[in-house]
Structure 1
Amino acid sequence: MGESLAILLVEDNLLNQRIVTFSLKKFNHEVVIANNGVEAIEHFCQRKFDVILMDIMMPVMDGIEATVKIREFENKNKIEKRTPIIALTANTMDNDRDKCISYGMDEFMAKPFDIEKLNSIFDELKIPS
């Protein structure tokens, strides 16, 4: 087992929150939940996270807009090492992945949540897991 990570989970569905949190805590990761993009930005501005898992379709503010605002915050504050953002979405068309990447996300993972797949993404992005 690798390092414990501080993970911001941005997800509006309570069942998905529970499944993802349960899976991540098995690896001793700390999970902070944001129910929408606005909450995600608030959490992000208050503390550092090792990685953000970002749902795309949410009320109040979606994951794309939240990602853009997080990247703007990083640029404005001259943060050298940007926080990896992994899209979590039920939309699995090739152009959905391209859209997420074009808006500043680092990787894309289709739902339903799969901890093995997430760990391989962590490896690809060189996020200690």
Structure 2
Amino acid sequence: MNITRTILLVEDDVINRVALCRFLSKQGHVVHPAKDGDEALEVYAKNKFDLVIMDLVMPGIDGAETARKMRFISNSTDGDYPPIIIITAIDHRAQNLEKIFRAGVDRVVQKPIEHAQLLECIDELLLPKSATK
């Protein structure tokens, strides 16, 4: 089911950022790219997004800390916040995953990203429960 969504994509690697932007755009989504956590927070504070897809390891503030700050921004306004998917090449142990989920992250997707897995994750987070049955 293709529904146009507005996505904030945060990825410091320019090749990965461009490739994911193209892929998500071809799926019919409107994608706003950001190169790091600071730029993401600036864009996030000024726009409303249906979803955030963000790299975990970035220069400056990492994806988990950026997610935590996004949740604070949302809670200080209307409390309605978009789901956050963290993408990472790092193999995470239970304690690291706990930190990531405590920051407000909804899902973690391992790199290299399998497009079908990412689309399934997006659908799980954004489609109404009745639409997925």
Is the shorter-chain TM-score for this pair beyond 0.5, marking a shared fold? Answer: yes
Distance of 1:127 and 1:36 partners within structure 2: 28
Q: Percent identity?
A: 35
| 1:1-129 equivalence runs, <5 A | 1-79=1-79, 81-95=80-94, 96-127=96-127
**Offset at residue 110 of structure 1 (A):** 0.5
In structure 2, relative to structure 1, the CA distance for the partners of 1:110 and 1:12 (3 Å cut) is same
Distance of 2:30 and 2:97 partners within structure 1: 26
TM-score by length of 2: 0.87
TM-score by length of 1: 0.90
- Structure 1 moving runs of 4+ over 3 Å: none
**Offset at residue 117 of structure 1 (A):** 0.6
Distance of 1:23 and 1:43 partners within structure 2: 21
8 Å contact 1:86–1:108 — kept in the other structure? yes
Question: Residue type matched to 1:42 in 2?
Answer: E
**Offset at residue 127 of structure 1 (A):** 4.0
The 3-state SS of whatever aligns with 2:42 is: helix
In structure 2, relative to structure 1, the CA distance for the partners of 1:119 and 1:41 (3 Å cut) is same
Question: Residue type matched to 2:44 in 1?
Answer: F
Q: Which structure's relative contact order is higher, taking Cα pairs within 8 Å and 6+ residues apart? A: 1
Distance of 1:93 and 1:60 partners within structure 2: 20
Worse-matched range after superposition: 57-66 or 47-56: 57-66
Unaligned segments of structure 2, at least 5 residues: 129-133
| Matched length | 127
Unaligned segments of structure 1, at least 5 residues: none
The 3-state SS of whatever aligns with 1:125 is: helix
Cα-Cα RMSD: 1.5
**Offset at residue 4 of structure 1 (A):** 1.1
